[in-house]
Amino acid sequence: MSDLIDVPRGLNGVVAAETTISDVDGDAGVYHYRGHSAVELARSRSFEDVWHLLVVGELPDAATRAAFAARVRAAQGEPAWSELIAAVAARTGQPLAALSAVWTLGASARSSSPLYDLDPTARLDDAIAFAAVAPLALAPGVPTGRGVVADYLERVTGASPEDAHVRALSAYLVAAMDHGFNASTFTARVIASTGADMASCLTGALGALTGPLHGGAPARALDGLDRAGDDPAPWIAAELAAGRRLMGFGHAVYRTADPRSELLREVARGLGGDRVTQALAFQEEAERQLAERRPERPLHANVEFYAAVVMEQCGIPRAMFTPTFALARTIGWTAHVLEQARDPKIIRPSARYVGPGYRG
């Protein structure tokens, strides 16, 4: 096909759609949600406030905030969810598998229709319902009404969380809700472009998120800290000499420091502890060695590096790092699914065939 257009590997730099949800400026090192600095939102706004911003389109006032919280509680209280969560939890100890199963089975229990057949109000109802059940499917339990973050943290850790830990985890979740057309978000939009139901869009996105190069990185970043010990220089040098990647460093978009990493480093410093001291030393040494090897393309700590440190300091076990990332990113996925559903054009790129010639 002579009219095909050559594009970079991984579609880097290719504009696949227009969005009003978020934007990432990798050269300047900033990103925002609907015009609001995502970093400032993480510092000053609740999980629910930013959830409302992404799926409804604006930050809530006091009355709207209360109404939205009631809407989330009502969605979480749907009878079908509790029965499904209990049944799935009894059969799997894998939170992400449980979430995928609850979404899939929930679509059947709720008789969910394809997005193509729903009006905008019904689509928003589905978006809120499927996002609202995510923290319960990942960490089963009964909501107490203190908010999504505090409830989730208590169910994950088994203890009433400190206010500092709730604020720290909330900052991470808000900072991680959305980030341009990353792999899982693009997956959700591709599925949404077919007119499929909300659950199909979300389970597809979740599958993409589980990859080590996407949502599976935080735990691996912490593994590196464990192996490096208190003197990280020799271990880092050996890893780089062997051509292995330092998990938690570098990003496909940012050409400067990752603003999410800088935010979470600030949060980690506030929490304190030996692990934070170790992480700060590791970052300094890793960035020094990376700059020596590639002075033309310095690599910095990305969001996964300090996300791992913050989650550990909050008492979240390593096995729950990726599920916690999924909890945050679910909000962004639903926002993008709603946006994509308004476009009647299916996403259908081409491939350039490079195999054996036609044999007749």
At 234 the pLDDT is 96
**pLDDT tens digit sequence for 129-160:** 999 999 999 999 988 889 999 999 999 999 99
Q: Which domains does the chain have, with CATH numbers?
A: 35-210+319-341 (1.10.580.10), 217-313 (1.10.230.10)
- Separation between Cα atoms, residue 318 and residue 219, nearest integer Å: 6
- Separation between Cα atoms, residue 203 and residue 179, nearest integer Å: 18
Mean pLDDT of 37-61: 98
How high does pLDDT run on average in the chain?
A: 92
- Separation between Cα atoms, residue 23 and residue 261, nearest integer Å: 17
Question: Looking at the predicted structure, is the pLDDT value of residue 3 above 70?
Answer: no
Mean pLDDT of 180-189: 94
- What residues have CB less than 8 Å from 90, skipping those under 6 apart? none
DSSP conformational letter for 314: T
At 149 the pLDDT is 98
Question: Looking at the predicted structure, is the pLDDT value of residue 2 above 70?
Answer: no
C-alpha angle with apex 60: 57 to 66, nearest 5 degrees?
130
- Residue 195 Cα distances to 118, 328, 342, angstroms: 10, 24, 10
Question: Looking at the predicted structure, is the pLDDT value of residue 190 above 60?
Answer: yes
At 1 the pLDDT is 46
- Separation between Cα atoms, residue 27 and residue 16, nearest integer Å: 20
At 270 the pLDDT is 96
Phi and psi torsions of 23, nearest 5°: -145, 140
Question: Looking at the predicted structure, is the pLDDT value of residue 89 above 70?
Answer: yes
- Dig out the tokens for 49 from the structure: 């406030």
Least confident residue range of 17-26, 262-271, 307-316, 323-332:
17-26
Q: In what order do the strands lie in the sheet containing 30-33? A: 22-25, 30-33, 36-37
Map tokens 């979480």 to a residue: 76
Distance of CA 14 to the CA centre of its chain: 21
At 87 the pLDDT is 92
- Separation between Cα atoms, residue 33 and residue 23, nearest integer Å: 7
- Separation between Cα atoms, residue 313 and residue 324, nearest integer Å: 14
Residues noted as catalytic: 251, 304
**pLDDT tens digit sequence for 237-272:** 999 999 998 888 877 676 778 888 899 999 999 999
Q: What is the pTM assigned to this prediction?
A: 0.92
